[in-house]
Copies of this chain bind each other. A is one copy, B any other.
Amino acid sequence: METTPSRVVKLAVIPGDGIGPEVIAEAEKVLDAVTAGSGVTFERTRFALGAGRFLETGDTLTDADLAAIASHDAILLGAVGGTPGDPRLKDANIERGLLLRLRFALDHYVNLRPSKLYPGAPGPLAEPGDIDFVVVREGTEGPYVGNGGSIRVGTPHEIANETSVNTAFGVERVVRYAFELAERRRKKLTLVHKTNVLVNSGSLWKRLVDAVGAEHPDVAVDYLHVDAATIFLVTNPGRFDVIVTDNLFGDILTDLAGAVTGGIGLAASGNINPDGAFPSMFEPVHGSAPDIAGQHKADPTAAILSVSLLLDHLGLAEQAARVTRAAEDDIAARDDSPRTTMQIGDAIVERLRA
């Protein structure tokens, strides 16, 4: 007879390519360990998607795949993408046809990317200070919409355009999310854009941050051009609390943020649909790293911290905090001796059980 209340979460798991399956295996071990006996069961469906599947079958993400994934409560993704330069993968069909298609079709308008310098994590900065901020990257608009085209391709008269599309609807909802997050944190929000060049979209972002900011008088708001923001990320990252920015600037800033906080082997992310209309998707910021795939060298910590974001999103705040703490403790105890992907996963599971 069961005594704990029982809840079933339908989880779609997309291990993906390269190191994806390796880090996801560890993330799942952590998920199992932290939810054991909690009354929450993760009912998993595995989706074999990615460059591997595409090369075998020619399919990237079929409508049937998408519908099946969408019927889940949440998604855990490893990494997708084949070997750079593989001519069979041209036109970025995996990135656009799979990863970005999921983010757009499932309306993941918040791409949440926390950056924290964990004690013990080796970073490149001489004097990093306290780093603890979250980038709220818009996920469904901007230069990522695929609204471009070329004419006279291959001739000296070729013209290639890319149009960034930005809407009040799309910007306002992500800005609201960022302000609400800032309210729960240190109450500081920085808008990053390039309003002095991208005057139309920049003005839209600026006005909406001002308008929503007026409803949050305790949140201190500032603005940085994206170029200046990269300077502060290396000279004074401690100045940031919540950064809200567009899809492309967020992509750039979060890789840089990952680097200054000890490498993207530690950087977790959530592609979130806050309305709950679609399942949110959690994934490490890093890619499939085909160069080290199969060597058990990949650090699964980013995937494991993505599980923490997943748990938090599902309202399992206590379990989320336990995962983060176990990962943090593991990071703090690291020395120079190399460990395999599995050894790191096991060590974190060990700490969870202790």
Contact = CB atoms under 8 A, between A and B. Distances in A.
Contacts of A33: none
A201 B160 contact: yes
27 contacts: A91-B199, A92-B199, A96-B197, A96-B199, A123-B126, A124-B234, A125-B126, A143-B143, A148-B198, A149-B200, A155-B168, A156-B169, A157-B169, A159-B166, A161-B163, A161-B201, A162-B163, A163-B163, A227-B252, A228-B255, A230-B252, A230-B256, A230-B259, A231-B258, A233-B256, A235-B259, A256-B256
Interface in A180-204: 194-204
A167 B158 contact: yes
Nearest to A94: B196
A92 B195 contact: yes
B200 A226 contact: no
A260 interface: yes
Contacts of A154: 207
A95 B164 contact: no
Interface of A: 84, 91-92, 95-96, 100, 123-127, 143-144, 146, 148-150, 152, 154-169, 172, 194-204, 207, 223, 226-228, 230-231, 233-235, 248, 251-252, 254-256, 258-260, 263-264
A167 B345 CA distance: 49
Contact of A259 (B201, B231, B264): B231
